[in-house]
Amino acid sequence: MDDTVIVVGGGVVGMTTAVVLAERGRRVRVWSRDPAAHTTSAVAGALFWPYRIEPAARVGPWSLRSLREYMALARDPAATGVRVAAGLMTDTELAGLGSWADELPELREAAPDELPAGCAQALRGRLPLIDMPAHLRYLEERLRAAGGSVERRTVDALEEPAAQAPVVVNCSGLAARDLVPDASVFPVRGQLVVVENPGIEEWLVSAAGDAAGTSYLFPQPFGLILGGTAEDHVWDTRPDPATAAAIVERCAALRPQIRGARVLAHRVGLRPARPAVRVEAVQLPGGARLVHNYGHGGAGVTVAWGCAEEAARLAG
């Protein structure tokens, strides 16, 4: 029996799914149009947190499985790109977060003297914070160690990989809109600014009731990431100078020491959103099994391992 699986998509969801399949003994080939460093995943912040993702009943278990994996990977941050960092999540109640929060005993209500200016309430805790370029390299190395491969290929139809393998896993993200086709997939544009870090060691997220204008600061080895935006149905990947200036100003209001920090880079990514994540198996007319694993929006990193394991189970 041919045990080949072709995974379409080389972002964090596709690479994590490929690793899970390869380490279970399948012969895995990843077909990706872009190198990992040029995928949307490489632009992500990327703090573990179930952000704008449904359905809640499935997201909870996916998040819990992923959290456990990231906590294990954080034992070797130099190799995996994953570390556990302290920070604040404002305007968020501890009640109702889900079972994954029970795994974080340090997650608690912040004391008044821990709150940034203008914030009335926050949670304080230590969460996985992922250096995505480093983590994507780690996943590719781990895949190759398990016997898998990555190929630069543009896929115009899912019948193409189905002609070469009995199982195809569709982790194509935003491209699923045309490949499946699935008109419910849409972009959520996110713009970031990377600045020289003036010494900030903790992350900070402040939604202030407006998801489109969420402010966040994520210290990474390559600089301090400032964000951000969440613009539904916007396809433009060009950084907007006015938006960048507004991001810096919002973040400086929370942490004044970043005011005047030298800008290192501007980044824009299109989150592959859908009303609900799609993880399910269907049969193609030619007999191949097609497993869908897409529509994760801004929480692909957060649920990657949980969704990967479910997709691997569906792959048979």
Question: What CATH number did the domain enclosing 221 receive?
Answer: 3.40.50.720
Range 5-24 average pLDDT? 98
Could you check whether the bond before residue 228 is cis, i.e. omega within 30 degrees of 0?
yes
Structural domain span for residue 249: 4-315
Range 86-110 average pLDDT? 93
Q: Would you state the structure tokens that stand for residue 144, as one six-digit string?
A: 């190759």
Q: Summarize pLDDT for 260-289 with one digit per residue, the tens.
A: 999 999 999 999 999 999 999 999 998 999
Taking alpha carbons only, the member of 51, 3, 36 closest to residue 212 is 51
SS3 32: strand
What letter represents residue 228's amino acid? G
pLDDT for res 211? 53
**Structurally, how many domains does the chain consist of?**
1
Question: 27-32 and 4-8 as β-strands: parallel, antiparallel, unpaired?
Answer: parallel
CB 152 within 8 A of CB 35: yes
Residues 6+ positions from 181 with CB-CB distance below 8 Å:
none
Q: Would you state the structure tokens that stand for residue 263, as one six-digit string?
A: 């800008």
For residue 210, pLDDT beyond 80: no
Burial 218-251 (b: 16+ CB within 10 A, else e): bbbeebbbbbbbbbeebeeeeebeebbebbbebb
Q: Would you state the structure tokens that stand for residue 56, as one six-digit string?
A: 């809640």
Which DSSP symbol is given to 110? P
How many of the other CB atoms lie within 10 Å of CB of 75? Answer: 11
For residue 241, pLDDT beyond 60: yes
pLDDT tier for residue 52 given thresholds of 50, 70 and 90: confident
Q: Would you state the structure tokens that stand for residue 34, as one six-digit string?
A: 């872009």
